[in-house]
Amino acid sequence: MAFLGPSAYISPDHYASQPHFPTWAYAAVHVTGRPRLLDEVRPCAGWTT
């Protein structure tokens, strides 16, 4: 399964040095495992936001 985050086009005009080309900045996370249903909601200790 993949989760996609923010993405943005990066124009070559944003680079000061030569050569420069357009690119795409993005964030993605790929996860694997077996899903399971939880009977209760439990806080995730140690997670930071």
Residues of the chain above pLDDT 90, percent: 33
For residue 47, pLDDT beyond 80: no
Q: Tell me the whole-structure pTM to 2 decimals.
A: 0.48
Reported as a pLDDT band with limits 50, 70 and 90, residue 17 is confident
Query: Contact at 8 Å (CB) between 24 and 14?
Result: no
Give the residue with greater pLDDT, 32 vs 19.
32
Give the residue with greater pLDDT, 41 vs 46.
41
What residues contact 24, with CB distance under 8 A and at least 6 apart? 7, 8, 9, 10
Please state the φ and ψ torsions of residue 15, each to the nearest 5 degrees: -95, 140
Query: Contact at 8 Å (CB) between 39 and 18?
Result: no
For residue 7, pLDDT beyond 90: yes
